[in-house]
Structure 1
Amino acid sequence: MILLTKLNGQTFTLNALYIEQIQEFPDTTITMMNGKILVVKDSEEDVRIKVEEFYRQVGLTAMKRIGDHSV
């Protein structure tokens, strides 16, 4: 789950597993797998970073360590 901010300033928690697409034009728009569209204050880059951190926390991506050359 990631914490995001609506355009009206209210924060909410979103299950990042259901995000299909993130675009910034100029507002950040998140398209969910069910077709629902959310517009948030957070930048596209900030959302991407939060999603990547969430994926690491739940074990969906491997954490790279400095000097670790294994795949």
Structure 2
Amino acid sequence: MLRLTRLNDSELWLNPLLIEMVEATPDAVVTLTNGHKYIVRENPEKIAADIVQFYRSIGIAGVASAKGGAP
């Protein structure tokens, strides 16, 4: 699960497998596959990095090699 922060500082936990899109408008808007949208404080780059880390932790994303291989 990803821990994100809403604009009112409340904590929000989302399943990364359900994230369809993250937009910067200028706040980050996370859209889930069911159409629900959440505006959060984290920037899209941090959210993307957290999603990759989650995928790696459950074994569905490879680890980049030291020679610059893709994640």
TM-score normalised to structure 1 length: 0.88
Match of 1:34 in 2: 34
Unaligned stretches of 5+ residues in structure 2: none
Cα root mean square deviation, aligned: 1.5
Q: Displaced runs of 4+ in structure 1, greater than 2 A?
A: none
Question: How many aligned residue pairs are there?
Answer: 69
| Identity level (%) | 30
Match of 1:3 in 2: 3
Q: How does 1:45-64 map to 2 (within 5 A)?
A: 45-64=45-64
TM-score normalised to structure 2 length: 0.88
Larger radius of gyration: 1
* Change in CA separation of 1:7 and 1:65 when aligned onto 2, cut-off 3 Å: same
Unaligned stretches of 5+ residues in structure 1: none
